[in-house]
């Protein structure tokens, strides 16, 4: 018998996959009817809506809806490939009425679009917000389709924001909502800011196309900026924030709003989706990725807000080892160079999401099997079902030491610090390779390149004598002084693999030439990184300058983690003052950075203290 080669196996896999896709496509087109409707809102504006209705008339069916600013295309007779290319096919097999709606002011819907439109708790008359638009859409669907009276809503990323607003509508037919990687607060932690630091690369590449005005309903999207340089590090180094404003050509209103609101003022607070999460009636399933480069913060913090503000709501959370939206893909076995030992995406789809909606919308199945918190712990590569998040534990501080080590004991030296020079002309890159688009794999990237830079401080433990499991938010508590009046602080939590570590088989390289296995021996896996803009250390509403040379506290929270550092691995902490071009450069002078020109950027000497009077520590949420 002839041996089947790896290449032949790959070919057979794709043939099988395409055959299955074609089969699903044919089945759905035979068993569903597509309709397109304009659904009226209370103020007279009509929203374009696509309905896929099962031909099966043996019973009435539930409605599953997504509201999106990204189009319910294709328009006309063609069916959306969503119904067979991903896990939506499971809902089609269950005969759901599947509805996709263009939100107000986008694509074929009427009206004026507003980014993260604020929730209006005290609406009167014909006043609208996204909650009321959802209510009116559901009301029309209940009255004009042969449904069973139960509606569910889900959505990933920006559609996750609209799912959150749907939950605030409290329409009696809305029984279950799943905000997934939801846009929740664009200043504190999601796509475009982290602790006040502007994520320029994501913001500019997205809004240069998405943010262009749409005078009337259309089926044609806008083109983004035509980048003259295909190296993102070089492009953003050559373009300050005022330069990026010029490239927008004054056409994108939300971009101008970003620049006009550099601090966490009332404008931003009104766009925090958590303000709508009181007295939520539908069952909630909040979903996110541990390694989501866009909206990791939103998933964790939306769940916590619902727990606090609507304690009687049936609220659950799922966090897997995923990039943005990977849970809805066909493959959740790895991210970049890091493997997870199982297809976590398919497990989630079949064991969490589909049973959740089937239970609430069809009265089918057994919901108690879905725990309060369904969290995948990387490192150990296991799902844990927990009755609360964060789980109870014995969190404690680990201290930075002068010799680049980490200690569970408070330092005893009288005066001690480690310093580096932060040079905005040579900022620390967020990843080793040259890229044009921001990568998703950087969330688990090897940090050895950063360890070798003189402007990155590295602290690590000895090899661990037993497993160390962290579950919850990490808190950086740094004692610092700087030679300027402002600086950023990046803290990274890293799992250092043993020098003899290897995965069984091979791990394909991420973003590197060839098919050779990436060297995992000594790999420094980024588990969590976060940036803090120093001028916001005391208040996000009212920034304040540093006094040069004065020792001050910079304390901030990193998004939650769920990771086990295995016996024989090391825990590493890195500290640096740029993360480029992920976040914009700080000129290291106290000023409105959106107005900073090339001449404003100055070198600064940064000192991180680790002595008895000024111990820098990282709080670790340890559980057993």
Q: Could you tell me which of 244, 446, 216, 236 has the C-alpha nearest to residue 335?
A: 446
Does the pLDDT at position 507 exceed 90?
no
- Mean residue pLDDT of the chain comes to 94
Q: Are residues 485 and 414 in the same domain?
A: yes
Q: Which of 386, 408, 431 is the last residue of a domain?
A: 386
What share of the chain in percent tops pLDDT 90?
92
* Residue 148 is assigned to a structural domain of this protein: yes
Total domains in the chain come to 2
d(CA 442, CA 415): 36
Q: Where does residue 518 rank: exposed (0-12), middle (13-18), buried (19+ CB within 10 A)?
A: middle
d(CA 453, CA 432): 11
For the domain that residue 408 is a member of, what is the CATH number?
2.60.120.260
| C-alpha separations of 487 from 456, 458, 484, 579, 618 in Å | 14, 18, 8, 12, 19
Q: Are residues 368 and 414 in the same domain?
A: no
**Residue 15 binned pLDDT confidence (cut-offs 50, 70, 90):** very low
Does the pLDDT at position 484 exceed 80?
yes
**How large is the average pLDDT for residues 339-347?**
97
**How large is the average pLDDT for residues 458-479?**
98
pLDDT tens-digit series, residues 99-141: 999 999 999 999 999 999 999 999 999 999 999 999 999 999 9
Please enumerate in sequence order all residues whose Cβ is within 8 A of that of 173, keeping only pairs 6 or more positions apart, or say none: 138, 139, 142, 149, 150, 151
Q: Could you tell me which of 479, 572, 483 has the C-alpha nearest to residue 525?
A: 572
d(CA 135, CA 143): 12
pLDDT tens-digit series, residues 559-599: 999 999 999 999 999 999 999 999 999 999 999 999 999 99
**How large is the average pLDDT for residues 464-473?**
98
The 3-state DSSP class for residue 99 equals strand
Whether the model pTM is above 0.85:
yes
The 3-state DSSP class for residue 485 equals coil
CA angle, 125 as apex, 119 and 127 as ends, to 5°? 35
**How large is the average pLDDT for residues 223-237?**
96
Q: Could you tell me which of 113, 138, 176 has the C-alpha nearest to residue 42?
A: 138
pLDDT tens-digit series, residues 192-207: 999 999 999 999 999 9
* Residue 252 is assigned to a structural domain of this protein: no
Q: Are residues 418 and 463 in the same domain?
A: yes
The 3-state DSSP class for residue 165 equals helix
Quote the tokens at residue 333: 């076995």
**How large is the average pLDDT for residues 233-238?**
98
**Residue 516 binned pLDDT confidence (cut-offs 50, 70, 90):** low
- Helix (H) or strand (E) holding 269, with range, is helix 266-269
* Residue 414 is assigned to a structural domain of this protein: yes
Please tell me the number of Cα atoms within 13 Å of 382 on its side-chain side.
8
Q: Where does residue 207 rank: exposed (0-12), middle (13-18), buried (19+ CB within 10 A)?
A: buried
Please check whether residue 497 is in contact with residue 520, taking contact to mean a CB–CB distance below 8 angstroms.
yes
User: How much is the pLDDT for 22?
Assistant: 64
d(CA 82, CA 75): 14
* Residue 202 is assigned to a structural domain of this protein: no
**Residue 252 binned pLDDT confidence (cut-offs 50, 70, 90):** very high
d(CA 116, CA 368): 34
Q: Could you tell me which of 294, 188, 219 has the C-alpha nearest to residue 48?
A: 219
**How large is the average pLDDT for residues 274-293?**
98
Q: Could you tell me which of 173, 125, 166 has the C-alpha nearest to residue 148?
A: 173
For strand 315-320 and strand 373-377, is the pairing parallel, antiparallel, or unpaired?
parallel
Please enumerate in sequence order all residues whose Cβ is within 8 A of that of 325, keeping only pairs 6 or more positions apart, or say none: 156, 157, 180, 181, 289
According to DSSP, residue 145 is labeled: S
Q: Are residues 360 and 297 in the same domain?
A: yes
Does the pLDDT at position 17 exceed 60?
no
What share of the chain in percent tops pLDDT 70?
95
Q: Are residues 529 and 479 in the same domain?
A: yes
d(CA 157, CA 167): 15
Does the pLDDT at position 8 exceed 80?
no
Least confident of 96-100, 220-224, 443-447: 220-224
Q: Are residues 179 and 101 in the same domain?
A: yes
- Alpha-carbon 153 to chain mean position: 19
Q: Which of 339, 359, 386 is the last residue of a domain?
A: 386
Q: Are residues 332 and 412 in the same domain?
A: no
User: How much is the pLDDT for 606?
Assistant: 98
**Residue 12 binned pLDDT confidence (cut-offs 50, 70, 90):** very low
Q: Which of 336, 355, 386 is the last residue of a domain?
A: 386
Count of H-run helices and E-run strands, the chain: 14, 26
* Residue 159 is assigned to a structural domain of this protein: yes
- Would you tell me the crossing angle of helices 253-260 and 241-248 to the nearest 10 degrees? 160
User: How much is the pLDDT for 24?
Assistant: 87
Please enumerate in sequence order all residues whose Cβ is within 8 A of that of 197, keeping only pairs 6 or more positions apart, or say none: 488, 531, 532, 533, 583, 584, 586
Does the pLDDT at position 508 exceed 90?
no
* Residue 228 is assigned to a structural domain of this protein: no
Q: Are residues 175 and 286 in the same domain?
A: yes
Please enumerate in sequence order all residues whose Cβ is within 8 A of that of 245, keeping only pairs 6 or more positions apart, or say none: 255, 256, 259, 594
Q: Are residues 444 and 380 in the same domain?
A: no
For the domain that residue 39 is a member of, what is the CATH number?
3.40.50.1820
pLDDT tens-digit series, residues 37-81: 999 999 999 999 999 999 999 999 999 999 999 999 999 999 999
Q: Could you tell me which of 241, 415, 437 has the C-alpha nearest to residue 324?
A: 437
Does the pLDDT at position 511 exceed 80?
no
* Residue 538 is assigned to a structural domain of this protein: yes
Give the residue ranges of DSSP H helices in 97-174.
Answer: 130-144, 158-169
φ/ψ (deg, to 5) at 316: -130, 160
User: How much is the pLDDT for 80?
Assistant: 97
Q: Are residues 336 and 464 in the same domain?
A: no
Q: Are residues 530 and 614 in the same domain?
A: yes
**How large is the average pLDDT for residues 488-496?**
98
Neighbours of 37 (CB within 10 A): 18
User: How much is the pLDDT for 21?
Assistant: 63
**Residue 506 binned pLDDT confidence (cut-offs 50, 70, 90):** low
* Residue 596 is assigned to a structural domain of this protein: yes
Q: Are residues 68 and 143 in the same domain?
A: yes
67: containing domain: 25-185+271-386
């Amino acid at each position: 018998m002839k041996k089947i080669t790896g290449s032949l196996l790959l070919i057979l896999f794709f043939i099988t996959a395409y055959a299955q896709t074609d089969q699903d496509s044919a089945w759905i087109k035979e068993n569903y009817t597509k309709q397109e409707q304009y659904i009226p809102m209370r103020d007279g504006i009509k929203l374009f809506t696509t309905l896929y209705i099962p031909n099966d008339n043996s019973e009435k069916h539930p409605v599953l809806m997504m509201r999106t600013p990204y189009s319910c295309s294709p328009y006309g007779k063609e069916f959306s490939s969503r119904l067979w290319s991903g896990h939506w096919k499971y809902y089609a097999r269950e005969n759901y009425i599947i509805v996709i709606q263009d939100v107000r002011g986008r694509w074929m819907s009427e009206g004026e679009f507003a980014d993260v439109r604020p929730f209006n708790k005290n609406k009167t008359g014909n006043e609208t917000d996204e909650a009321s638009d959802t209510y009116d859409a559901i009301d029309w669907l209940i009255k004009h389709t042969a449904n069973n009276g139960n509606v569910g809503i889900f959505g990933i990323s920006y559609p996750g924001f609209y799912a959150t607003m749907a939950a605030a509508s409290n329409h009696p037919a809305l029984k279950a909502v799943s905000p997934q990687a939801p846009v929740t607060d664009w200043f504190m932690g999601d796509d475009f800011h982290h602790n006040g630091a502007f994520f320029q690369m994501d913001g500019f590449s997205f809004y240069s196309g998405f943010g262009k005005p749409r005078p009337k309903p259309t089926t044609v999207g806008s083109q983004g900026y035509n980048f003259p340089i295909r190296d993102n590090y070089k492009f953003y180094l050559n373009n300050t924030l005022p330069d990026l404003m010029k490239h927008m050509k004054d056409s994108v209103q939300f971009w101008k709003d970003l620049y006009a609101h550099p601090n966490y003022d009332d404008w931003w607070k009104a766009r925090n989706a958590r303000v709508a999460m009181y007295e939520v009636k539908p069952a909630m399933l909040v979903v996110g990725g541990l390694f989501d480069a866009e909206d990791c913060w939103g998933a964790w913090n939306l769940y916590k807000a619902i727990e606090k503000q609507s304690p009687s709501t049936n609220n659950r959370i799922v966090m897997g080892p995923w990039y943005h939206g990977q849970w809805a893909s066909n493959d959740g076995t790895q991210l970049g160079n890091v493997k997870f030992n199982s297809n976590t995406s398919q497990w989630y789809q079949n064991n969490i999401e589909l049973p959740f909606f089937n239970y609430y919308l069809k009265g089918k199945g057994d919901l108690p099997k879905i725990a309060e918190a369904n969290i995948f712990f990387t490192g150990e590569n296991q799902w844990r079902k927990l009755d609360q998040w964060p789980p109870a534990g014995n969190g404690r501080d680990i201290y930075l030491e002068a010799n680049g080590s980490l200690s569970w004991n408070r330092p005893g030296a009288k005066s001690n610090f480690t310093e580096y020079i932060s040079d905005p002309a040579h900022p620390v890159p967020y990843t080793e390779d040259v890229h044009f688009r921001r990568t998703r794999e950087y969330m688990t990237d090897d940090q050895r390149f950063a360890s070798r830079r003189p402007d990155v401080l590295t602290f690590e433990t000895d090899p661990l004598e037993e497993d160390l499991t962290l579950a919850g938010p990490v808190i950086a508590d740094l004692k610092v002084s700087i030679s300027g009046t402002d600086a950023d602080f990046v803290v990274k939590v890293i799992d250092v693999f043993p020098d003899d570590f290897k995965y069984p088989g091979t791990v394909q390289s991420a973003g590197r030439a060839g098919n050779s296995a990436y060297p995992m021996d000594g790999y420094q896996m980024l588990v969590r990184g976060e940036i803090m803009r120093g001028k916001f250390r005391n208040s996000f509403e009212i920034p304040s300058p540093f006094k040069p040379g004065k020792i001050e506290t910079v304390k901030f929270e990193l998004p939650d983690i769920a990771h086990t550092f295995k016996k024989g691995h090391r825990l590493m902490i890195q500290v640096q003052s740029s993360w480029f071009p992920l976040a914009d450069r700080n000129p290291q002078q106290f000023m409105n950075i959106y107005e900073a020109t090339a001449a404003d950027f100055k070198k600064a000497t940064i000192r991180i203290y680790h002595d008895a009077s000024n111990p820098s520590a990282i709080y670790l949420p340890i559980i057993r």
